Structure formats: C-alpha cells, structure tokens
A and B are shown apart, each in its own frame.
Chain A
Amino acid sequence: MRVKKNDIIAYVILIVMGVAMIYPLFWLFFATFKDNQELFGKMSLLPEKFSSIAYKNGWKGSGQFTYLTFYLNTFKLVVPTVLLTALSTGIVAYGFGRFKFPFKKILFALMISTLMLPDAVIMIPRYVVFNKFGWVDTYLPFWAPAVLACYPFLIFMQIQFLRGIPKELDESAYMDGCNPFVVYVKILAPLLKPSVFSVIIFQTLWRWNDYFNNLVYISSVKNYTLSLALKMSIDSQGSSTPWNQVLAMSFVSLIPPILLYFFAQKYFVEGITAGGIKG
C-alpha cells in the first residue's frame, strides 16, 4: 500500500500550498468589509461585522472623478487594444505561417528576437514619437501598437496554432479560386477560434494589469485607469490612508480578470502551452 501513502502525502502538500497561495486573496476579500482599525493587529480572517462602507466611500475616488470613470477608462483602453491585437496578430501569423516570400526567414527571426527586446530600451523614443503626434494623455499609444501587431509572443502563439491546421484545407480552397484573404476569413478563422480566444485573454489581462505604460502616457486624472487611480489612492492621503477603502477598490479592480479566468479557463492552458513561453 505504499502508493496510497505517497498519494496522501502529495495531497497534503498540495492542499497546504493551495491554501497558502489563495489565502491572501480571501484575506483581501474579507478585509474589504472591515473597518480601518480592525485591519491592523488582528489575526481573524472574518470581519467582526460585515460593512459595505469601504466600498461606498472608496468608490467616490478622487472626489472629482469616481471609480466609475476609472473603470470606464480602463475599458476604453483595454477593449479596443485587445480586439485590434486579435485581428492584427491573426493576420500577421497567417502571413508568416502560410506564405513564402522574400526575406521571410530574416523577418521571422527579427520578429522572434523582439521577444527579447526590453521595453525599457524603446520606451523613451516611443514616448517622444507619440508626444510629437500629440497622442500623450490619450489611449492612442495603446491602440497603435495593437493595430501594428507589436506583440511577438501573441503572433508566435497564433502561428503555433496555425501550424496545427492541415495545409490541404486552405490549399484546396485556393485551387477553387478563392483569394487568400477570403480563405483566411471563411476557412481558417473559424478553426482558429481557440487561438483568437487565447490572444484575447492574454492581452486583456496584460493590458488590464499594466501599470508602467499607463503611468508614462496618461497624465490627467480624468483619463486615469484603475491602476493609476489605485496608486493615487495610496499616495494622496499620506499617513492616514483609509486602507479599507484602498483594499476595497483593489478588490473591485480584480473582479474582471477573475471572472475572465473562471469563464475561459481552458483557453489559458491551451494558450500558454501553444506559445510555450509565459503566461
């Protein structure tokens, strides 16, 4: 019965670790119902009494702008970026995955090598360019790289999916005289749904969680996203930070990623395993 014993040990390890990993999130959830004094120096997970005051006051935001604005701004930034990324990376992946053209090998190698290009190096000139265009403090610096498929990881992921679809399918359509664009839309795109979903999910999370680019490009509070608003909330109050409100709004900002995760789990696994890199 040694196998059984090993299994039990494995379960114990898994459960203890799982609890340890998820505990901070539960703690965050319950902390949002506590009052500010209760947050410090007490061990208990559950609040003494559930109060929604932290949500009510936290939601008011900066006074001038509520979290409704910050929420809507985040959607304005994220949704177009994600949809444009899904379109552009799909098309580019189709180009690389199914056609032969001059310098293809070099271009593909360049594309892959940009995976290793640190953002820090291109950040400053990019900012200068977007500043010249008058795009600073708008969401265009986020939409433009999406249109232009500046996400090599996502292109690569789509290529990997495309490779799994037999070439005969689209080749026979050419024979019937369809042009390549029609072939993509009518034949490949429906088969590539899992790949497109994976792109949508990854890009949504990356853009939703992103802070650095928001910080660089968005300057006025009326355009603030959730990341910027949260950072503002811990800065502005000084020593008397109403932590329960900050935590409540932090939790509110995490709801969309969590929902997305639970509804689209299978695409997460498919996506990272196809791209083979990082989630």
Chain B
Amino acid sequence: MSPQATKNPSVPSVRKYPKNWRWGILFILPWLIGFCILQAYPLIMSLYYSFTDFSILAEGKWIGLDNYKRLFTKDKYFMKSLGLTFKYALMAVPMKLIMALIVAMILNMKLKCINLFRTVYYLPSIMGGSVAISILWRFMFMREGMMNNFLGVFGIPSVNWLGDPDIALVTISLLVVWQFGSSMVLFLAGLKNVPTELYEAAEVDGANKWTKFWSITLPMLTPIVFFNLIMQIIHALQEFTSAFIITSGGPNHGTYLIGVKIYEDAFQNLKMGYASASSWVLFLAILLITVLVFRSSSAWVFYNDGGMD
C-alpha cells in the first residue's frame, strides 16, 4: 500500500503524503480489520450462502438460484412479509418525522421550559427499542389493557389492537412514533442554525409566518430531514424486536416483518442459505430505496453551504 512517491529517491521533494502517513494507517487499523472480517467478508459470504442450501449443521451445496426462485414463487410468506415491512416503514417513518418536525417547530417558538419539554419528549427514545418497553406495549394494548380502558372513558368502543392483523401493524408502528424525540432534537438543532437575518430580510419583504415557514425554515431543514429519512427507513425495514415480542409476527402473520422471517428461517429452522437469500433481497431493496431517495434529493434538499458537513 505504500505510495511510490515516498519511496522513489529521484523525486524526494514531491511527497504525496506527509511522513506520518503510516501513523494514520496504524490508527485506522482496528476499523480496517473489523471492516474486512466483520463486514466485508460476511457480506460476500452471505451472498455465497444465498446460492447454497447451507445450514449451520451441514456444509451447503451450490443450488444456483433455487432459494430465490422459492422465495418468489413457493414461499407463502415472503412476499407478504416484504410487503408488510414496507407498509410498516411507510406508516412509521413519515409519522415519526412529521411529529418530530411539528414539535420541534413549537419548541423553537422561544418559550420557557424548553429544556424540560425536550427532556420529556426525548425520554422514550432512550428505551424504546428495549424488550421491557415492548412488553409494556403488549400489555397496554391488550384487549383489557390500559389503552382500551382509556378509550372507554370517552365512550369509544374497545379496539382489537393486537388481535386484528391490520391494526396490529399500526400498534407496533406507534411504538416507533412514540420515539420521535431523537429526530426532534436534531430538527431543533437545525432550526437554531437558521440565520435570523433570513427571517429579518423576509419580514422586510412583507412575508407572513406561513411564507417564512415554506420558503426559509423548511428548505433550511431539508438536509437534516433527508439524512433522517434515509436512516429511519433503513432501521424501519429491519425492525425486529417489537414485532417479535409484542405480536410474535402474528396475528395471522399480520406483523410478520422480514426481520422476523429471516431470524426464524436462519436460527429456528436453520435454513441459513435460504435466509441469506431473503436478507439479500432485503439488502437490495434497501439499496434501491436509498438510491431513489438520494436521486430525489437534488429536487428537494437545499444545501446552504454546499455540503452537509
């Protein structure tokens, strides 16, 4: 890896890298090793496994595209769980980001006690992914649970939060929305960075609040919204704990997210080759969506300083 410039005695003065470049390599070495062994190699191997009938018990043999063919033609649940996963992400991510944006806007009104509110709103984000909270969710949304009791007070008939396949997916999405605080803190930081001169200039031009929001605040926030959108989509498409603990993928496979399916195929049914194929379809779907969001970004993301540093 050593660059020729530093070794070639005929050009001693043209050094491409400062003499301490070796230190740089040394410092990133842990990551480099980790990247090779724990990220790049597994990525390649899972692609390889996806063309075999590998299980942890037996070496796999090459079966070509059979796993993929089975996923798309014979497996009753694969397409369903892929569809459910998208539906879940499409519900959870926009709801979460819109909530975060609205609350951040309100908190940015220079009110008192902002820190107190921020503390309260952020609290669910620090524990939301845990088993404990999933258990709480399961309990709260039971037929006889707190949520239905609460609705009963207002005369609203009880909802079958976990027993109806369509509603169950909404119930687990709500767990993500409840954690909007993490995105909110980011939006709030973004709002603080909007230069006040912009608003002053707009006021001179006679802009009202609504115009200021649409033509200053929102454009200035788009880089943060963009990054959040991508990361949240990637996380949502891999959701596991809530679907596994709250509903165990049910009822009637109504919350059988792809993450749960991959886990069950790989570690319960020990069909690791087959599960690898599912995971690659998921990976490609994530890549495709990320690329699409990136492509679309030039149309709606506004960079004030030419980059999101």
Q: Which residues of B sit under 8 angstroms from A208, Cβ to Cβ?
A: 130
Closest to B275 in A: A124
A54-62, A104-112, A189-197 - the one binding chain B: A104-112
Give Cα distance in the complex from A179 to B23, angstroms: 9
Asked whether, in the complex, the Cβ of B135 is within 8 Å of the Cβ of A230, the reply is yes
The contact of B131 among A25, A39, A43, A211, by CB within 8 Å, is A211
Q: Which residues of B sit under 8 angstroms from A272, Cβ to Cβ?
A: 182, 185-186, 189
- Least CB distance from A216 to B in Å reads 6
Asked whether, in the complex, the Cβ of B120 is within 8 Å of the Cβ of A22, the reply is yes
Task: Annotate B276-291 by CB proximity to A: 1 below 8 A, 0 otherwise.
Answer: 1001101100110010
- Least CB distance from A136 to B in Å reads 10
Q: Which residues of A sit under 8 angstroms from B123, Cβ to Cβ?
A: 21-22, 25, 258, 261
Asked whether, in the complex, the Cβ of A209 is within 8 Å of the Cβ of B130, the reply is yes
Number of B residues, CB within 8 Å of A: 104
Q: Which residues of A sit under 8 angstroms from B286, Cβ to Cβ?
A: 116, 118
Question: A110 and B35 in contact (CB under 8 A), knowing A116-B230, A125-B49, A273-B186?
Answer: yes
Interface residues of B in 1-53 (CB under 8 A from A): 1-3, 17-18, 20-35, 37-39, 41-43, 45-46, 49
Q: Which residues of A sit under 8 angstroms from B18, Cβ to Cβ?
A: 99-100
The contact of A120 among B34, B119, B181, B259, by CB within 8 Å, is B259
Q: Which residues of A sit under 8 angstroms from B45, Cβ to Cβ?
A: 125, 128
Q: Which residues of A sit under 8 angstroms from B266, Cβ to Cβ?
A: 123-124, 127
Q: Which residues of B sit under 8 angstroms from A25, Cβ to Cβ?
A: 123-124
Q: Which residues of A sit under 8 angstroms from B287, Cβ to Cβ?
A: 116
Asked whether, in the complex, the Cβ of B28 is within 8 Å of the Cβ of A122, the reply is no
Task: Annotate A140-178 by CB proximity to B: 1 below 8 A, 0 otherwise.
Answer: 000011011110000100000001000000000010000
Asked whether, in the complex, the Cβ of A250 is within 8 Å of the Cβ of B21, the reply is no
Give Cα distance in the complex from A30 to B205, angstroms: 55
Say yes or no for A48: interface residue by CB 8 A criterion: no
B63-71, B139-147, B194-202, B210-218 - the one binding chain A: B139-147
Interface residues of B in 172-229 (CB under 8 A from A): 178, 181-183, 185-186, 189, 224, 227-228
Question: A10 and B109 in contact (CB under 8 A), knowing A24-B140, A231-B245, A272-B185?
Answer: yes
The contact of A126 among B38, B224, B230, by CB within 8 Å, is B38
Asked whether, in the complex, the Cβ of B227 is within 8 Å of the Cβ of A120, the reply is no
Give Cα distance in the complex from A212 to B240, angstroms: 7
- Least CB distance from B283 to A in Å reads 5
Give Cα distance in the complex from A11 to B117, angstroms: 10
Q: Which residues of A sit under 8 angstroms from B107, Cβ to Cβ?
A: 14
Select the residue from A101, A131, A206, A258 with max chain B CB neighbours within 10 A: A101
Give Cα distance in the complex from A104 to B26, angstroms: 13
Q: Which residues of B sit under 8 angstroms from A122, Cβ to Cβ?
A: 38-39, 42-43, 46
Say yes or no for A81: interface residue by CB 8 A criterion: no
Task: Annotate A241-269 by CB proximity to B: 1 below 8 A, 0 otherwise.
Answer: 00100110011011001101100010011
Say yes or no for A88: interface residue by CB 8 A criterion: yes
The contact of B136 among A24, A99, A268, by CB within 8 Å, is A24
Q: Which residues of A sit under 8 angstroms from B39, Cβ to Cβ?
A: 114, 117, 122, 150
Give Cα distance in the complex from A28 to B134, angstroms: 12
Give Cα distance in the complex from A208 to B107, angstroms: 30
Q: Which residues of A sit under 8 angstroms from B34, Cβ to Cβ?
A: 145, 147-150
Q: Which residues of B sit under 8 angstroms from A209, Cβ to Cβ?
A: 127-131
Asked whether, in the complex, the Cβ of A124 is within 8 Å of the Cβ of B21, the reply is no
- Least CB distance from B238 to A in Å reads 5
Give Cα distance in the complex from A227 to B21, angstroms: 44
Closest to A231 in B: B131
Say yes or no for B62: interface residue by CB 8 A criterion: no
Asked whether, in the complex, the Cβ of B132 is within 8 Å of the Cβ of A278, the reply is no
Q: Which residues of B sit under 8 angstroms from A24, Cβ to Cβ?
A: 136, 140, 146, 178
Question: A124 and B106 in contact (CB under 8 A), knowing A104-B24, A265-B119?
Answer: no
Say yes or no for A134: interface residue by CB 8 A criterion: no
Give Cα distance in the complex from A18 to B103, angstroms: 10
Say yes or no for B241: interface residue by CB 8 A criterion: yes
Asked whether, in the complex, the Cβ of B231 is within 8 Å of the Cβ of A115, the reply is yes
**Top 7 A-B pairs, shortest CB-CB distance:** A148-B34, A99-B24, A95-B27, A279-B182, A125-B42, A250-B132, A125-B45
A-B contact pairs, 28 of them (CB 8 A): A7-B109, A10-B106, A14-B106, A21-B123, A28-B136, A42-B149, A91-B27, A94-B27, A95-B27, A99-B21, A102-B1, A102-B3, A118-B282, A121-B282, A121-B283, A124-B272, A124-B276, A145-B34, A148-B38, A150-B39, A209-B131, A211-B129, A211-B244, A243-B139, A268-B122, A277-B231, A278-B231, A279-B182
Query: Apart from A209-B128, A258-B126, A272-B185, what 4 extra A-B contacts exist at CB < 8 Å?
Result: A99-B27, A125-B49, A243-B139, A269-B189
